[in-house]
Structure 1
């Protein structure tokens, strides 16, 4: 799995914590962007997905909105 993974999250987000724990559990390296502190990155995320909510993951060039373990694994493996 050589795909770059970026997690878009913010403090106080329960599902953001869950997604990071999931990635940690599976030994997946990832970068985190806190959209409450990096508004330009938040706008890029919204433009890419049409969704304002977090967590969102960019895996390679594909996006997963929300914590969906099956979709995350498909994007990592595919």
Structure 2
């Protein structure tokens, strides 16, 4: 769908919210990369430093010089961010 978008989904195994995000992206034709934080506290440390959260999912979306991170849980927040970019 939007090949000029860069999407990174920070997730962990067994996270139903993470699965909802990935399902949404796949159903709507978005390509994404996953960063798995399962058993990787150092990756959660990165999220805490960048966004002040340790939970997942966190979705990073970029296009050109614009970049946005979605830290709120719920597909509606992802949809809103995709609409702004």
Normalising by structure 1, we get a TM-score of 0.82
Which residue of 17, 27, 45 corresponds with 1:15?
17
Cα 1:54–1:16 change in 2 (3 A) is: same
Q: 2:37 aligns with which of 32, 35, 38?
A: 35
The corresponding residue for 2:77 is: 71
SS of residue matched to 2:20: helix
Normalised to the residue count of structure 2, the TM-score between the two structures is 0.77
- Show structure 1 runs of 5+ residues with no match: none
After TM superposition, which residue ranges in structure 1, 4 or more long, deviate above 6 angstroms? none
Task: Specify which structure has the bigger relative contact order, considering alpha-carbon pairs within 8 angstroms and separated by 6 or more residues.
Answer: 1
* Cα 1:5/1:32, change in 2 over 3 Å: same
Question: Where does the alignment leave 5 or more consecutive residues of structure 2 unmatched?
Answer: none
Q: What value does the CA root-mean-square deviation take over the aligned residues?
A: 1.7
1:57–1:63: 8 Å Cα contact kept in structure 2?
A: yes
